[in-house]
Every structure is written in structure tokens, then in C-alpha cells.
Chain A
């Protein structure tokens, strides 16, 4: 064996060509990066006549790392990893061949490491992808080598093929990763719509059903592949059909959102009330694709709310009937004293209680508009003489306070009709209310133009209701001021009412 070693025993041109073909064929069929590296190392060692070789690639941090090798010690790879003449930014650099490491200006520790691995001569062949260095392959020789142009071009040829194959493998890997991500994402979204606890559907621009999630398919008993024959419109209750189809048709024609309810026959043949909320859907280029909607089965809710309404109506009926019976008892009890003012007063109070009750049941025992309450109470006993002027903003009173206010207003009105401003021609009452910033409500009843006023000697029910009843019920204060010019009543309530 001569001093210049392996290269003098070059492969014949035919064998070289054969090795390159085999390499090309192998990387073409390679399925993993390791298979590519293995066939590259075969081609390198065979055609470049070296026993040792390695492939290194920049890692994510830009450090050159061994990815495949032949005949190198662990220690050598550990020490020399990261050692490179190039950076990832370098464009298409030429290969470097070192005939004898001892003749270079490399640091001594590198020379020592290389020598102790038994290496004298090295070839650095850059691997590039789209013109940029991604790594290198190395050839190692135990003897000095004078690299000839033939073996240099051979090395560059192998490097190009290897770089290209690595690029292709990387592109393939990232395409697979992207596809996998799309599949995962698709599965997530599919699961979300499929398993959602509401019915979800999509229609085409003609209103035909294109997609139903599991709950919707289960509702109608439609198979996943049976949507073509599914006619949702045919399952609508005959009484609801015209209205539902008209509303849905308008929404589709105008591509606008729609909210409809109707009864549909489910797979068991039962009628279920569905609340549907649908919106138009569009393609990426903005053209109308149909509707997307959700259906919620509100049959039970509807039944419950109807029962509640019936119960409320029945309760109201019974309470009013009871009040009517109380009234009848009073009439019978005071039969002989029918014309007594006290009986009339009592019946009047009973009537106001009933009216307030009526208003409250009209708003389902929720908050009552103060202005409605005032109008109803005062209209009950119209005055033929004086007039009442009413002024105040919309304000909602809780039920308990509404009852108290109704009874108090009735007392004030009755008193005014008997002794006050409403008992004479030209007398006026001003009734005004306003909520302040803290949510307190102030009601002011002011009489003018009535007969001269004197402090009453006796405190009757009216005064009691006003001065004490209101304090308790309204958590506020009421002050009756018998001014000579007319009665002034100021009611303050720490209301939880709502200003509209």
C-alpha cells in the first residue's frame, strides 16, 4: 500500500457510476432519514475510498451534530460535534479537503483529537438545501491524501444528492405533520358538533338539509348517509308548518338570521316543540351557502311555563273570588246599615286591594309600573268635582310595596273626596313622584283649592295606613301635613324599584 493510500486504488469509472446509481435508487426508495444516511454512507465510503465517514446536520440551535457515522469513537464525536468551517447562513460554499491535519493552523487540541483517532487526512463536503448550508459529510483517512479533481466532483455530486434527499424527507415530514394536525383539528371539531348537547344542522341555499349532528339524527331517526332522502319540513306539525316554513323561507331568501319555534314529529312519532335559531353561512368568497342552526327541545319548559300560567290564573281567580266572598259577607253582615259610610269605606278598601291584586297578577307578581297602579287606583272612584294631576317617570315597584302604595293612595283619594280638594269645584290634587340618585322614591300628594283644613281629632285607618303601614312596607317614611291651604303628604320609600 503506497503512502498516498486509497485514492490510488480508485474505483473504475463503471463501478463508480454503478455505485452512484445505486445511491440514487436507494434514497429514492428510502422511507426514513436513517435509510437515506445509511445509503449515503455506503456511497461515500465506496466511491471515495474511505473506511470512515460521517454525516452532520445543524440542529435547531444551529450546532452541527453527528446524525450518522462509520468507524468513529464516541469520544471523537463528542469532542468534535459542533466543529464546522461553515454557519447556517453560508451560501453554497466549496468543499474543503485537508491532505494532512498536522499541516493546518487548527488549534492544537483539535489536531490532537483527530490524530489520536488515527486520522491524518479529512474531507469537509457541505450539504446545502436551496443554496444554504444545512450540514456536511466528512471523509476520514488514516494516510495523507492528495485529493484529485475527480474525487472532489464525486464528493460534490454525492453531497448534492444527499442534500436534496434530506430536503425532500424534511418536506415530506412537515407535510405529514401538517396533515396530522389537520386531521386532529378536524376530529376535534367533528367531535364538538357531533357530541354537542343541542341539535346542530346545516342547510343548502334551497333549504335542504346537508348536515345533522348526532342529536339531530337521533331525534329524527336519520342515518348519517340518509340525509339525501331526509325531508325535515315533512316532520313539522300541520298547524305549525305554514308559519315555520314561511319564516325559514324568508330567512333563506334574505340570508338573514331567524328564530322560530314549532312542533316536530320525532322518530318515536311524538310531537316535540323545538326552538330553532339559525344564521346564514357563507363561503370564503362571500357567497351564500345556506343556513346553519341549532334546535333546542323546549317541550318540557313550555309545558312547565304553561302550567305555571294556568296556576297563576287560577290562584288569581281564587283570591279575587275570596275577596268577593269577603265583600259579600260584609254586605250581609251590615245589611241593615247598608248606607253607613263606614261600610262603603270598607268595601272601597277591599276593592282597591282587589284592583292592586289584579294589576300584580297581570305582571305575574313581578314588579309593577307605578304609573299603571296610580291610574288604576285613582280611576276607581272618579271625582265629579276636583281634578288630579299626575306627574312622574316610569318606575317599577316590587309587589309588596305596590300593594301598600295602592292602599295609601286610595286613603288619600277617599279623604280628598270627602273633606279635601276633591270635594269642591275647582279643587286640585297634584300627585308627583321621582326617584333620587340613591334609588329612593319620593311620592308627593299636594291638595289645593279645597275647604279650610284642620288637623283631624281622631287618627283613623287612613292615617294609620299612611303613617305606619307605609313605613313598614316601604321601609321609608310618610308625613301627613294638614296645612291650611290643603293636605300635603310626602312619602319616602327606600325602594328596590327600578327606574326604566
Chain B
């Protein structure tokens, strides 16, 4: 049984192919994908309308920072991880979120997301 089984995971990723691959991997792990959203607005609507246990958040969405989504997730105490091609920086540090560098393997996503869920349980 996967650690993420039956968890509802919001996917925010502007690159279609990456989002598709990520969704496949999540579904293989028996998680339920919420989204994927490709921009801030869609992600916020999904957060309003659907229940979310955790989120995978691309730092840069077609040139816009995903900060508002991270802010909303933090406020609602929903655990999340960043994915980025930039590496950890001032932005990811600010949200004290775990960061997975692109390109990533499923193991990295799986590990970091599980740890993020664990962080939230402990805090």
C-alpha cells in the first residue's frame, strides 16, 4: 500500500507533459489527483471547490510566481512541496517548504511529499 494511497493531491504545473507524467505517477500510487492546474487562478478555484490533503506546486507558472497559492495553502495548513528548475532560493525558504529540483524522479516526489505530510502531523 502506497504512503499516498487515497490522499487528495493538488497538482499545479504549467508544463503539460510534466503535469501528465506527475499525475500518472500519483495515480499509480493510488492517490487522487486534484487538477492539474496550470495557473494561480485555476489552482485557487480548485482549492475553494475541492478537498485537498497535500499539494505539489511548481514555483514558476508561465513567468508568474506561485506565491499566492503557497500563501493560501499555508494559511489552511495544507502541506505542500515545491518543484522548481531554479533550485532552493529566497522564495522557497520563505515558505519553509520542501523543494524538489526538476527533473525529478518519482521516488523524490514520493519521499518529500510523505515527509511534508509527516511534518504537518507533528506540528
The reply to whether the CB of B20 lies closer than 8 angstroms to some CB of chain A is yes
Contact bitstring B78-109, A, C-beta under 8 A = 1, else 0: 00000011110000000000000111110000
Contact bitstring A335-360, B, C-beta under 8 A = 1, else 0: 10010000000011011001000100
| Contact B85 A321, beta carbon cutoff 8 Å | yes
Contact bitstring A306-334, B, C-beta under 8 A = 1, else 0: 00000001001111110111111101100
B86, closest chain A residue (CB): A317
What residues of chain A lie closer than 8 Å to B42, measured between beta carbons? none
B4: min CB distance to chain A, Å: 16
Number of interface residues of A (CB under 8 A): 25
The reply to whether the CB of B38 lies closer than 8 angstroms to some CB of chain A is no
| Contact B20 A325, beta carbon cutoff 8 Å | no
A350, closest chain B residue (CB): B103
| Contact B17 A328, beta carbon cutoff 8 Å | yes
| Residue from A321, A331, A338, A348 in contact with B102 in the complex, judged by beta carbons closer than 8 Å | A321
User: Roughly how many angstroms separate A324 CA and B106 CA in the complex, as a whole number?
Assistant: 12
What residues of chain B lie closer than 8 Å to A354, measured between beta carbons? 101-103
A482: min CB distance to chain B, Å: 29
Known: A328-B21, A332-B21, A335-B24. A317 touches B85 (CB 8 A): yes
| Contact B20 A328, beta carbon cutoff 8 Å | yes
Max chain B Cβ within 10 angstroms of own Cβ: one of A318, A329, A331, A358:
A331
User: Roughly how many angstroms separate A332 CA and B60 CA in the complex, as a whole number?
Assistant: 23
What residues of chain B lie closer than 8 Å to A324, measured between beta carbons? 15, 18, 85, 102-104
What residues of chain A lie closer than 8 Å to B105, measured between beta carbons? 347-348, 351
Size range of the chain B interface in the assembly: 10 to 19
| Contact A331 B85, beta carbon cutoff 8 Å | no
Within 8 A of A (CB), among B15-35: 15, 17-18, 20-22, 24-25, 28
B35: min CB distance to chain A, Å: 16
A406: min CB distance to chain B, Å: 15
B46: min CB distance to chain A, Å: 21
| Contact A327 B21, beta carbon cutoff 8 Å | yes
User: Roughly how many angstroms separate A324 CA and B104 CA in the complex, as a whole number?
Assistant: 7
| Residue from B24, B25, B84, B102 in contact with A323 in the complex, judged by beta carbons closer than 8 Å | B102
| Contact A318 B85, beta carbon cutoff 8 Å | yes
Known: A313-B86, A321-B102, A327-B103. A338 touches B17 (CB 8 A): no
What residues of chain B lie closer than 8 Å to A348, measured between beta carbons? 105
User: Roughly how many angstroms separate A358 CA and B20 CA in the complex, as a whole number?
Assistant: 24
A178: min CB distance to chain B, Å: 65
What residues of chain B lie closer than 8 Å to A318, measured between beta carbons? 85
User: Roughly how many angstroms separate A319 CA and B60 CA in the complex, as a whole number?
Assistant: 14
User: Which B residues fall within an 8 A CB radius of A?
Assistant: 15, 17-18, 20-22, 24-25, 28, 60, 84-87, 101-105
User: Which A residues fall within an 8 A CB radius of B?
Assistant: 313, 316-321, 323-329, 331-332, 335, 338, 347-348, 350-351, 354, 358, 362
15 contacts between A and B (CB under 8 A): A316-B85, A320-B101, A321-B15, A321-B85, A321-B102, A325-B17, A325-B18, A328-B17, A328-B18, A331-B25, A332-B24, A347-B105, A351-B104, A354-B101, A354-B102
Which 3 residue pairs spanning A and B have beta carbons closest together? Answer: A328-B21, A320-B85, A324-B103
